[in-house]
Amino acid sequence: MTDTIISSASKEVVIGFERPFVIIGERINPTGRKQLAAEMAAGDYSRVKADALAQVQAGAQMLDVNAGIPMADEPRILAEAVQLVQSLTNAPLSIDSSIVAALEAGLAVYKGKALVNSVTGEEERLEIVLPLVKKYGAAVVAISNDETGISEDPDVRFEVARKIVNRAADYGIHHSDVVVDPLVMPVGALNDAGRAVFRLVRRLREELKVNTTCGASNFSFGLPNRHGLNASFLSMLIGAGMTSAITNPLHLEEMTAVLGADVAMGHDPNCMRWIQKYREPLATGDDPVGGRRGGREGRRRRAPGS
């Protein structure tokens, strides 16, 4: 059983084998969002603020913050965004950049124990990112690719993950502070992508004893009804033992799938969270439908097997 503790100044979130699945909100990321990129580059963080609040409201326990804007001063912008988000919410953050100076700028201003997103198995990355993770007492997302790229062979990806975990240990970083992203491939291109990642998640958990995360929505790339497919896939990932995902908590189908999978894993004691979220309103007072219904009718639950 492995617990990865991430914290802000006033709140701890635990990613763990016997814990509710942790949703890391992915929205604060200018990649592919032109308007957000332009605003952040100009020092306008109103959309960052709105995204932070909306994601926490929707059920994200953590938030990813990325400031990857071409030609912009990424270290300064990332540090400013981290500070702003920490002033708005106590959700712990994942500090996300491919630029080491930006990671360091974010870590320098961060209050609590951050999740650094990310390190790969590339030698050069390992040698600069891991000392930074150690210096700031952070945890780190380990992405299972290396100099040779992303292997389609899940066994190769497993070995890259093992190498990162071992190297982290050399730097004094415990395996509970390494959260492995096994890399989800688009099933439209690779028909075995689902089962490959389920097997990989089980091996990462049983053999390396690490927590796992992923960008789950890549699975449905190019296919119709992406939310429906992502919902099934996320449920199955959780069944296979995945413990967190970097995803959009504003998507209701995926969030319902995650909450349902937590119930099925026994990670929602007495189904309290499920019941609280989905219980039907009483007939009087707070009925959102607004219709007039009799008391018995209004409180009626669906019959078994309905």
Binding interface with a second copy (CB under 8 A)? 26, 32, 187-188, 191-192, 194-195, 198, 215, 217-219, 221-226, 228-229, 231-233, 235-236, 238-240, 248, 256-257, 259-261, 263-266, 269-271, 274-275, 277-280, 301-306
Cα–Cα distance between 103 and 66 in angstroms, integer?
Answer: 10
Nearer to a second copy, 46 or 270 (CB): 270
Minimum Å gap between C-beta 293 and a second copy is 16
- Burial status of residue 286 (CB atoms within 10 A of its CB: 0-12, 13-18, 19 or more): exposed
Of residues 61, 60, 91, 74, the one with CA closest to residue 30: 74
Nearer to a second copy, 224 or 294 (CB): 224
Minimum Å gap between C-beta 34 and a second copy is 12
Minimum Å gap between C-beta 193 and a second copy is 8
Of residues 132, 20, 115, the one with CA closest to residue 62: 115
Residue 139 and residue 130 in contact, taking contact as beta carbons nearer than 8 Å: no
Nearer to a second copy, 45 or 233 (CB): 233
Backbone region of residue 277 per phi and psi (left: phi > 0; alpha: psi in -120 to 50; beta: other values): alpha
Nearer to a second copy, 1 or 303 (CB): 303
* Angle at CA of residue 255, ends 56 and 202, nearest 5°: 110
Minimum Å gap between C-beta 131 and a second copy is 31
Residue 66 and residue 96 in contact, taking contact as beta carbons nearer than 8 Å: yes
Minimum Å gap between C-beta 188 and a second copy is 6
Minimum Å gap between C-beta 74 and a second copy is 20
Neighbours of 74 (CB within 10 A): 24
Nearer to a second copy, 173 or 238 (CB): 238
Q: How far apart are the first and last CA of the chain?
A: 38
Minimum Å gap between C-beta 236 and a second copy is 4
Of residues 251, 266, 267, 192, the one with CA closest to residue 217: 251
Q: Which amino acid is at 13?
A: V
Nearer to a second copy, 86 or 243 (CB): 243
Nearer to a second copy, 48 or 139 (CB): 48
